[in-house]
Amino acid sequence: MKWYNYLACFVAGVFLIHLLPHILNGFSLTNVIGATVSLVVGGLLLWAGKFSFRNLWAVLLVLAGMGSVFLYLAIFPHHHHG
């Protein structure tokens, strides 16, 4: 695999982890659209990255992409206005 395949796997993890808040916040139109966009873009990036569970680096990079979102949120917490 080339470097950009691995980058696609990392960014796929970033998009796929964004499924959680959309699913956990219920089924409003905004959440359904957000979850769909996250799933479609994440899926396309996995395809572009030639993701395979047999490729340890690809799996680790998807997980690292997901973890980077948690790390970012730990450092810069969201303040919801409502």
Q: In the chain, what percentage of residues exceed pLDDT 90?
A: 78
Distance (Å) of CA 38 to CA 16, 41, 73: 6, 5, 18
pLDDT digits (tens, 9 = 90+) for 11-64: 999 999 999 988 888 888 999 999 999 999 999 999 999 999 999 999 999 999
Q: What is the pTM of this model?
A: 0.88
H-assigned helices in the chain: 3-17, 19-24, 29-48, 56-75
pLDDT score at 79:
67
Mean pLDDT of the chain: 92
pLDDT of residue 49: 97
Phi-psi sector, 50: left (phi>0), alpha (psi -120 to 50), beta: left
Residue 82 pLDDT: 47
**What was the pLDDT predicted at 23?**
87
Domain residue ranges of the chain, discontinuous segments joined by +: 3-75
Would you tell me how many other CB atoms lie within 10 Å of the CB of residue 10? 19
What are the two backbone dihedrals, phi and then psi, of residue 55, each rounded to the nearest 5 degrees? -100, 105
